[in-house]
Amino acid sequence: MADHGDHGVNDFAFKVATVNGTGSASANGLLLQALFRMGIPVTGKNVFPSNIQGLPTWYEIRVNKDGYTARSPDFHLIVAMNPQSYARDIEEVVSGGWVLYDNTRELDDKFRRDDVNFIGIPLAEMCVSEFDGSRTRILMKNITYVGALVALLDIDMDVVKGMLQQKFSKKQHLMDANFKAIDMGYAYAREHYDCPLPIRLETMDATADHVMINGNTAAALGCVYAGATVGAWYPITPSTSVMDGFSQYCKRLRVDPETGKNNYCIIQAEDELAAAGMVIGASWMGARAFTPTSGPGISLMSEFIGLAYYAEIPSVFFNVQRTGPSTGMPTRTQQGDLMMCTYASHGDTKHIALFPANPKECFEFAVAAFDLAERFQTPTFLVSDLDIGMNDWMIPRLEWDDDYVPDRGKVLSAEELEEAESFYRYLDVDGDHIAYRTLPGVHPKGAYFTRGSGHDKYGRYTEGSAEYMEVVDRLLAKVNSAGDRVPEPELHQGAEPTELGMISIGGCHWAVLEARDDLAEQGLAVDYMRIRGFPFNETVERFLEQHDRVVVIEQNRDEQLRKLITIETQCPKEKLGSITYYGGQPLSKGHVLDGLAPWIPELAGGGATPGFADAASDTAVVEVAP
Q: Which of residues 426-445 bind other proteins (CB under 8 A)?
A: 438-444
Based on the shown chain and the rule CB under 8 A, indicate whether residue 276 belongs to the binding site for other proteins: yes
Phi, psi of 504 (to 5 degrees): -145, -175
Residue 296: is the preceding peptide bond cis (ω within 30°)? no
According to CB under 8 A, which residues from 295 to 314 bind other proteins?
303-304, 307
Q: At its nearest, how many Å lie between other proteins and the CB of residue 161?
A: 17
Contact 172, 7 (CB under 8 A): no
- Pick from 90, 206, 232, 603: which binds other proteins (CB under 8 A)? 232
According to CB under 8 A, which residues from 62 to 101 bind other proteins?
none
- Pick from 122, 227, 454, 598: which binds other proteins (CB under 8 A)? 227
Alpha-carbon span 140 to 12, nearest angstrom:
26
- Pick from 16, 287, 412, 479: which binds other proteins (CB under 8 A)? 287
Burial of residue 409 (CB within 10 Å: 0-12, 13-18, 19+) is: middle
Q: At its nearest, how many Å lie between other proteins and the CB of residue 230?
A: 5
Q: At its nearest, how many Å lie between other proteins and the CB of residue 225?
A: 5
Name which of 228, 386, 249 is nearest 317 in CA terms: 228
Candidate segments 217-225, 426-434, 488-496, 504-512, binder of other proteins by CB under 8 A? 217-225
According to CB under 8 A, which residues from 102 to 121 bind other proteins?
none
How do beta strands 379-385 and 117-121 pair? Answer: unpaired
Radius of gyration of the chain (CA): 27
x-marked contacts with other proteins along 246-275 as a string, rule CB under 8 A: ---x---xx-x--xxxxxxxxx-xxx-xxx
According to CB under 8 A, which residues from 602 to 621 bind other proteins?
none
How do beta strands 210-213 and 393-396 pair? Answer: antiparallel
Q: At its nearest, how many Å lie between other proteins and the CB of residue 63?
A: 17
Based on the shown chain and the rule CB under 8 A, indicate whether residue 289 belongs to the binding site for other proteins: yes
Per-residue b or e along 342-361, where b marks 16 or more CB atoms closer than 10 Å to that residue's CB: bbbbeeebbbbbbbbbbbbb
> Up-side HSE of residue 98: CA atoms within 13 Å toward CB?
24
Contact 242, 384 (CB under 8 A): no
Q: Is 80 helix (H, G, I), strand (E, B) or coil?
A: strand
Residue 271's identity, in one-letter code, is D
Contact 237, 331 (CB under 8 A): yes
- Complete DSSP assignment for 277-326: HHHHHHHHHT--EEEEE-HHHHHHHHHHHHHHHHHT--EEEEEEE-B-ST
Strand partners, 291: 317
According to CB under 8 A, which residues from 8 to 47 bind other proteins?
36-37
Candidate segments 21-29, 86-94, 130-138, 223-231, binder of other proteins by CB under 8 A? 223-231
- Closest CB to other proteins among residues 214, 321: 214
Burial of residue 237 (CB within 10 Å: 0-12, 13-18, 19+) is: middle
Q: At its nearest, how many Å lie between other proteins and the CB of residue 347?
A: 13
Q: At its nearest, how many Å lie between other proteins and the CB of residue 265?
A: 4
- Pick from 212, 526, 587, 596: which binds other proteins (CB under 8 A)? 212
- Closest CB to other proteins among residues 187, 273: 273
Phi, psi of 120 (to 5 degrees): -95, 135
- Pick from 152, 177, 279, 593: which binds other proteins (CB under 8 A)? 279
- Closest CB to other proteins among residues 179, 448: 448
Candidate segments 6-14, 53-61, 278-286, 547-555, binder of other proteins by CB under 8 A? 278-286
Kind and range of the H or E run holding 11: strand 11-19
- Closest CB to other proteins among residues 224, 382: 224
Based on the shown chain and the rule CB under 8 A, indicate whether residue 370 belongs to the binding site for other proteins: no
Kind and range of the H or E run holding 359: helix 359-376
3-state secondary structure 314-351: CEEEEEEECECCCCCECCCCCCCCHHHHHHCCCCCCCC
Alpha-carbon span 443 to 441, nearest angstrom:
6
According to CB under 8 A, which residues from 378 to 437 bind other proteins?
397-402, 404-406
Q: At its nearest, how many Å lie between other proteins and the CB of residue 306?
A: 9
According to CB under 8 A, which residues from 554 to 593 bind other proteins?
none
Candidate segments 9-17, 210-218, 491-499, 596-604, binder of other proteins by CB under 8 A? 210-218
Q: At its nearest, how many Å lie between other proteins and the CB of residue 29?
A: 12
- Pick from 83, 120, 281, 611: which binds other proteins (CB under 8 A)? 281
x-marked contacts with other proteins along 514-533 as a string, rule CB under 8 A: --------------------
Contact 148, 185 (CB under 8 A): yes
- Closest CB to other proteins among residues 1, 405: 405
Q: At its nearest, how many Å lie between other proteins and the CB of residue 284?
A: 6
Alpha-carbon span 386 to 322, nearest angstrom:
6
- Closest CB to other proteins among residues 224, 505: 224
Q: At its nearest, how many Å lie between other proteins and the CB of residue 454?
A: 12
Size of interface with other proteins, in residues (CB under 8 A): 74
